[in-house]
A = this chain, B = another copy of it.
Amino acid sequence: MSHRFAARSFRVEDSFIVEIFKYLQDKEMISFSGGFPNPDSFPIEALRKASDIVFRQEGKSVLQYAQTEGYLPLRQFISARYKKVYDLDIPAEEILITSGSQQALDFIAKTFLDPNDKVLLEEPSYLGAIQTFNSYEAGFITVPLNEDGIDLVKLEKALIEHDPKLIYVIPNFQNPSGVTYSETNRAQFCEIVRKFNVIVIEDDPYGELHFTNQKRTPLKSLLPEQVLLMGSFSKTVSPGLRLGWVCAPKAIYKKLFTCKEASDLHSSNLDQHLITRYLQDNDYDEHIASIRSLYKTRKETMVSAIESFFPKEVRVYPVYGGMFLWVILPQGMSSLDLFYEAVKEKVVFVPGDPFYVDQKHVNALRLNFSNASEADITEGIKRLAEVIKQQLKK
Contact = CB atoms under 8 A, between A and B. Distances in A.
Given A9-B111, A62-B240, A270-B271, A264 B102 contact: yes
Interface of A: 1-9, 12, 14-15, 34, 36-37, 39, 42, 44-45, 47-48, 51-52, 55-56, 59-66, 98-100, 102-103, 106, 110-114, 117, 128, 131-132, 134-136, 165, 197, 199, 225-226, 234, 238-242, 251-252, 255, 258-259, 261-271, 274
15 contacts: A3-B251, A5-B112, A6-B112, A6-B136, A8-B110, A9-B110, A39-B60, A39-B61, A42-B63, A47-B55, A48-B55, A65-B234, A100-B265, A241-B268, A242-B269
A47 to B, nearest CB: 7
Contact of A242 (B2, B42, B60, B264): B264
The 6 closest A-B pairs by CB, nearest first: A44-B59, A48-B55, A240-B269, A63-B238, A39-B60, A99-B264
A234 B265 CA distance: 12
Contacts of A100: 264-265
Given A60-B39, A197-B1, A264-B103, A48 B52 contact: yes
Nearest to A129: B262
A342 B8 CA distance: 45
Contacts of A134: 262
A286 to B, nearest CB: 18
Contacts of A265: 100, 102, 128, 242
Contacts of A225: 1
A266 to B, nearest CB: 7
Given A55-B47, A239-B65, A2 B261 contact: no
Nearest to A41: B63
B239 A9 contact: no
A240 B65 contact: yes
A73 to B, nearest CB: 16
B6 A117 contact: yes
B44 A112 contact: no
Contacts of A242: 264-269
Contacts of A240: 62-66, 268-270
Contacts of A8: 110, 114
A383 B326 CA distance: 69
